[in-house]
């Protein structure tokens, strides 16, 4: 187990966005966090990565308690992530967007871009990239950060089918390299195809954890998605 949440809660005003949430993410696996809009998925990611403070509960990365640590300290501990709304700097080149993660040679940057099938020159200004390419650039930046756990918030959203298929290969290759991938995703075909484990969140609580096969036929999960 690389990551664990124990009884993590977070309230915004009167809304219990995350409600005594408990789960574990296994090392060297692809784990997906799914659930209806507003289920609390992004809030869980923000709490893990230190962008939101939980009201209560404990988050562990390996044996280290990272609850309430500042985001940069959590990043240093080995968590790298991307965002639901891309955070690419549109006025900067591909190279300079990558250098925000850390110092790196052109060769190192090119090696990462190649591994995710990104073939634009390093001097390309990010605003000239397609939306899908901007998302890949953000993924590349997350990969350049030294990490043991990679967290992706809806990596396929707005991305064309070709890149979507490539993303599957990218994530499987990361797993082969020993990395742990934890992603939020609404594309069920994608989730069921690549995940080792699926965690279903509903109204801030874990509704079900299981292998894709077990999740697709679960009555509670279907009800949560379709409404009761």
Ligand X SMILES: Nc1ncnc2c1ncn2[C@@H]1O[C@H](COP(=O)(O)OP(=O)(O)OP(=O)(O)O)[C@@H](O)[C@H]1O
| CA 19, chain centre distance (Å) | 20
Q: Is the CB of 11 or the CB of 124 nearer to ligand X?
A: 11
Q: Cβ closer to ligand X: 17 or 129?
A: 17
Nearest to 152 by CA among 173, 183, 175, 185: 183
Q: Which of 42, 80, 134, 197 binds Mg ion (CB under 5 A)?
A: 42
- Secondary structure element (H or E) that encloses residue 135, with its range: helix 131-144
Q: Give the span between the Cα atoms of 63 and 164, in whole angstroms.
A: 34
**Least distance CB 151 / ligand X (angstroms):** 13
**Pattern 84-103, Mg ion, x by CB under 5 A:** x-------------------
List residues bridging with 209 in a β-sheet: 199
- What residues from 5 to 64 belong to the interface with ligand X (CB under 6 A)? 12, 15, 17, 35, 37-43
What's the Cα-to-Cα distance from 206 to each of 20, 41, 67, 134, 194, rounded to whole Å?
Answer: 9, 10, 19, 32, 20
Question: Is 146 or 158 the residue whose CB approaches ligand X more closely?
Answer: 158
- Would you tell me which residues interact with ligand X (CB under 6 A)? 12, 15, 17, 35, 37-43, 84
Would you tell me which residues interact with Mg ion (CB under 5 A)? 41-42, 84
């Amino acid at each position: 187990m690389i990551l664990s949440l124990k009884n993590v809660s977070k309230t915004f005003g009167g809304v219990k966005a995350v409600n005594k949430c408990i789960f574990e993410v296994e090392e060297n696996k692809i784990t997906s966090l799914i659930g209806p809009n507003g289920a609390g998925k992004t809030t869980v990611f923000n709490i893990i990565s230190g962008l939101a403070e939980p009201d209560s509960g404990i988050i562990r990365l390996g044996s280290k308690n990272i609850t309430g640590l500042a985001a940069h300290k959590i990043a240093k501990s080995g968590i790298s992530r991307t965002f639901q709304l891309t955070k690419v700097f549109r006025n900067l080149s591909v190279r300079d967007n990558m250098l925000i993660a850390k110092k790196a040679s052109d060769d190192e940057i090119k090696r990462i871009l190649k591994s995710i099938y990104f073939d634009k020159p390093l001097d390309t200004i990010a605003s000239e990239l397609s939306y899908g390419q901007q998302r890949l650039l953000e993924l590349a930046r997350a990969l350049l950060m030294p990490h043991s756990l990679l967290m992706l918030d809806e990596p396929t959203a707005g991305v064309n089918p070709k890149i979507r298929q490539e993303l599957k290969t990218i994530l499987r290759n990361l797993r082969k390299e020993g990395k742990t991938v934890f992603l939020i995703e609404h594309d069920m075909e994608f989730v069921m195809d690549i995940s080792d484990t699926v965690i279903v969140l509903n109204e801030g609580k874990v509704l079900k954890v299981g292998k894709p096969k077990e999740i697709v036929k679960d009555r509670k999960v279907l009800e949560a998605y379709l409404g009761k």
